[in-house]
Amino acid sequence: MSQPLSGIRVLDLSRLLPGAYATQMLADFGADVIKVEEPGSGDYGRFMPPQGAGGMSLYFIAINRNKRSMTLNLKSAEGREIFQRMVRQADVVLESFRPGVMERLGLGYEQLKEINPGLVYCAISGYGQDGPYRLRAGHDLNYAGYAGLLHYNRGWHGEPAMPPTQLGDLAGGSFMAVIGILTALMGRAQSGTGRMVDVSMTEGVMSLLPLAATAYLNSGEAPIPGRSALDGGLPCYNIYETQDGKHVTLAALEYKFWHAFCTHIGHLELLPFHHPVGPGEREQAIDML
């Protein structure tokens, strides 16, 4: 059986994590991904520590499997002409430059769709292609902060803590790009024309906070970390330290599971605290557990 994206060609102009992880997923699904890099230096992710055998960055290896690569100087007339010829045979172009860079090279979406009307063009940026922050530089941590994610990720003393992984790059950038590209390819199958996919990593991260963001945008009050239903506010949905110094996760949101849990541990007196509403009940139940 052929892979789902067999026959789809992707030209990847991106650097570092968001674009590379997105096109790796497309390659894993069967797309022919050609990574186009700058002559001389290439993608500077190639040199990020730690290095593996032969001095190749393990970071680079982890997010660039199943791809072909080439170098091309898009600042030269010859390089742009070569890229335009490649676009004629491509299905997808993905880039992660700051808004306006590709247009100045004569290789923006409006220019490339004249060459290939069926082209799906995906641009990943920190804040999207328009808006007041569009030209601001940034990285994963900035986007997580602006989106409000760090409000919920707290350290020992209540201060915002570093996330354990690059949620801005991966969830806000890579996954949103893949969803947008696949959706655009489905649309092209019906209409015959491609489209622009504008991925804002900040907006992508914010979409991961549907409950918290909706509450804040409608009330103007930021939810208190650890107090809402799914981030520590319920005794039945929480993390508890065990007697041996390890931790256990409890996710008994449904009453039947809470009843089974309380029965199993021999503490039926906890049953009324499934969803406590009275003053101090939440803290009392959590302390008991």
Radius of gyration of the chain (CA): 24
8 Å CB contact between 15 and 22: no
Give CA–CA dist 273/257, Å, rounded.
Answer: 13
Q: How are beta strands 120-125 and 32-37 bridged, if at all? A: unpaired
Reading the block at residue 55, the tokens are 């001095």
8 Å CB contact between 90 and 10: yes
Catalytic residue among 28, 139, 231, 259: 139
Give CA–CA dist 197/194, Å, rounded.
Answer: 10
Task: Check if 244 is active-site.
Answer: no
Catalytic residue among 12, 32, 91, 169: 169
8 Å CB contact between 171 and 208: yes
Give CA–CA dist 97/124, Å, rounded.
Answer: 7
In three-state secondary structure terms, 103 is helix
Reading the block at residue 116, the tokens are 């290939």
Give CA–CA dist 39/93, Å, rounded.
Answer: 19
Task: Check if 130 is active-site.
Answer: no
| Residues annotated as catalytic (active site), given as ranges | 139, 169
